[in-house]
Amino acid sequence: MLHNIVVVGGGAGGLELATRLGRTLGKRKQAKITLVDAHLTHIWKPLLHEVATGSLNSTDNELNYVAQAKWNGFEFQIGRLCGINRENQTIELSATLDEQGQELVPARYLSYDTLVIAVGSLTNDFGTCGAAEHCIFLDSPQHALSFHKRLLGEYLTAHARGNNDHQVNIAIVGAGATGVELAAELRRASQQLFLYGLDNIKPDNMNITILEAGPRVLPALSDKIASQVHQQLLKLGVEIKLSAAVEEVTAEGMRTQDGGVVPATLKVWAAGIRGPDFLSQMDGLESNRINQLVVRPTLQTTLDDNVFAIGDCAACPLFIGSDKNVPPRAQSAHQQASFLARSLALKLRGQALPSYKYRDYGSLVSLSQYSAVGNIMGGLIRTVSVEGWMARMFYVSLYRMHQVALYGVFRTGLIMLSDRIGRRTHPRMKLH
């Protein structure tokens, strides 16, 4: 009987892993590979801020799990993980409902021999009063599309009423990569919407404020890069409030711990991550304070050799003996998926598993069409700062690498050609 490998979570790491395993073990009938996800399609999470502003049409950039499974030698099952029975080696999936709440797919159990949990992360609002009620979290395409509809609604309302004094106030909590990139894309969106004739709201009447609890933007990057980004955002008319921890979120806006008030119609929380709550209740598996599953350097969970975890939902030591964990980045998920695809092949042959070692290839931040900055690492040159056109090309290449892992070089080339043609036949932003 074939060894049964179940991968739960179709994000960057889980989907790349299932695709690699399907091509190597699945097509050769060396193992049965199953991917489980609560949705039917995938979109690369670092692009969600572009979906939110309409800069990217999610429909044109979605991958269908059913088709991907057919082409790459694995199976797909729709469902949301809600429990694990480690003794019987089964997972429980909750029922899938349609938009009217009617059951589409019943709750059920799937068996496994090896289980890989790759369910990603959620935004961490740190229990801030009112955040869950009034803020949008860019955790999924559905959240990003919800923000886009609300943003477009502001413009359509002002246009229909002929209101030339309408102000759109947007507050973004968190000056990490997501918050910074979203602010730049919003400024571009304000200019594009004006050019398309929704000119009752002038670009300068979109008021964008970033609130950051720390002393500077982009705390994960160098002071030099953070300073460059800060100055560029100011040039774009983005207001930045540093050392401004949010104490409460209301329908009218944000209240900071120092008593300041930031009015906002649209509110986005982009600060911090945590694992989904159910991970802390997975049949005794060890988890940390933000619900990540604690794993060993082999990416096996600490209490079960047959259960692995990768990506944002895994607390993996940066190196053996380190008290720091691998950072929750797309490159981490990509590296771990590639590593585990090789490691699981060794497991099937009964060989010892190697230890994963994270390699930092640098960080890049895109400020929409205006600029990009960051640093790249590797080779003989340890760290190189890049900005402008070159940084933008490196940034775009990250997504292309993800596409190559999923589609292969030839199909990715065709997608790139299609994207270039589409720029001449479609609006520069999504207007619906």
What is the count of structural domains for the chain? 3
Whole-angstrom distance, CA of residue 387 vs CA of residue 366:
9
Q: Using CB atoms within 10 Å of the CB of residue 404, give its burial: 0 to 12 exposed, 13 to 18 middle, 19+ buried.
A: middle
In a domain, 432, yes or no: no
Size (the chain), residues: 432
> Over 60: is that where the pLDDT of 355 sits?
yes
Q: Are residues 82 and 116 in the same domain?
A: yes
Of 237, 269, 301, the one marking the end of a domain is 269
> Over 80: is that where the pLDDT of 243 sits?
yes
Q: Are residues 264 and 282 in the same domain?
A: no
In a domain, 292, yes or no: yes
In a domain, 279, yes or no: yes
| pLDDT at position 99 | 83
Q: Are residues 187 and 98 in the same domain?
A: no
Q: Are residues 189 and 256 in the same domain?
A: yes
For range 231-255, the mean pLDDT: 96
In a domain, 430, yes or no: no
Q: Are residues 203 and 163 in the same domain?
A: yes
- Going from the C-alpha of 21 to that of each of 69, 306, 314, the distances in angstroms are 11, 16, 20
Q: Are residues 339 and 382 in the same domain?
A: no
Compute the half-sphere exposure of residue 10: CA atoms within 13 Å on the CB side of its CA.
27
For 145, other C-beta atoms within 10 Å of its C-beta total 17
Q: What angle do CA 410, 77, 30 make, to 5 degrees?
A: 65
> Over 70: is that where the pLDDT of 262 sits?
yes
In a domain, 198, yes or no: yes
pLDDT tens for 191-216 read 999 999 998 899 999 999 999 999 99
| pLDDT at position 116 | 98
% of the chain beyond a pLDDT of 90: 72
Q: Picking from 96-100, 169-173, 360-364, which range would have the lowest pLDDT averaged per residue?
A: 360-364
Please, which residues bridge with residue 169 across strands?
207
Residue-averaged pLDDT of the chain: 91
Q: Are residues 42 and 161 in the same domain?
A: no
Q: Are strands 300-301 and 304-309 parallel, antiparallel or unpaired?
A: antiparallel
Provide the whole-model pTM: 0.91
Q: Are residues 235 and 185 in the same domain?
A: yes
| pLDDT at position 184 | 95
What is the separation of C-alpha 148 from the centre of its chain, rounded to a whole number of angstroms? 17
In a domain, 126, yes or no: no
Q: According to the 3-state scheme, what is the secondary structure of the chain?
A: CCEEEEEECCCHHHHHHHHHHHHHHHCCCCEEEEEEECCCEECCHHHHHHHHHCCCCHHHHCEEHHHHHHHHCCEEEECEEEEEECCCCEEEEECEECCCCCEEECCEEEECCEEEECCCCEECCCCCECHHHHCEECCCHHHHHHHHHHHHHHHHHHHHHCCCCCCEEEEEECCCHHHHHHHHHHHHHHHHHHHCCCCCCCHHHEEEEEECCCCCCCCCCCHHHHHHHHHHHHHCCCEEECCCCEEEECCCEEEECCCCEEECCEEEECCCEECCHHHHHCCCCCECCCCCEEECCCCEECCEEEEEECHHHEECECCCCCCCECCCCHHHHHHHHHHHHHHHHHHHCCCCCCCCCCCCCEEEEEECCCEEEEEEEECCEEEEEEEHHHHHHHHHHHHHHHHHHHHCHHHHHHHHHHHHHHHHHCCCCCCC
In a domain, 384, yes or no: yes
In a domain, 356, yes or no: no
| Residues 183/238, Cβ–Cβ less than 8 Å | yes
Of 285, 316, 348, the one marking the end of a domain is 348
Range of the domain at 202: 131-269
Q: Are strands 31-37 and 3-8 parallel, antiparallel or unpaired?
A: parallel
Single out the residue of 27, 255, 1, 11 nearest to residue 139, CA to CA: 11
> Over 80: is that where the pLDDT of 390 sits?
no
Of 244, 269, 294, the one marking the end of a domain is 269
Q: Picking from 234-243, 327-336, 410-419, which range would have the lowest pLDDT averaged per residue?
A: 410-419
> Over 50: is that where the pLDDT of 272 sits?
yes
| Residues 25/53, Cβ–Cβ less than 8 Å | no
For range 316-337, the mean pLDDT: 90
Q: Are residues 250 and 135 in the same domain?
A: yes
| pLDDT at position 382 | 62
> Over 80: is that where the pLDDT of 424 sits?
no
| Residues 412/403, Cβ–Cβ less than 8 Å | yes
- Going from the C-alpha of 371 to that of each of 109, 157, 259, 300, 408, the distances in angstroms are 49, 31, 34, 40, 29
Q: Are residues 343 and 372 in the same domain?
A: no
Highest mean pLDDT among 125-129, 392-396, 402-406: 125-129
Contacts (Cβ under 8 Å, ≥6 apart) of 230: 216, 217, 240
pLDDT tens for 42-87 read 999 999 999 999 988 888 789 999 999 999 999 999 999 999 999 9
| pLDDT at position 380 | 47
Q: Are residues 198 and 284 in the same domain?
A: no
Q: Are residues 135 and 265 in the same domain?
A: yes
CATH number at residue 225: 3.50.50.60
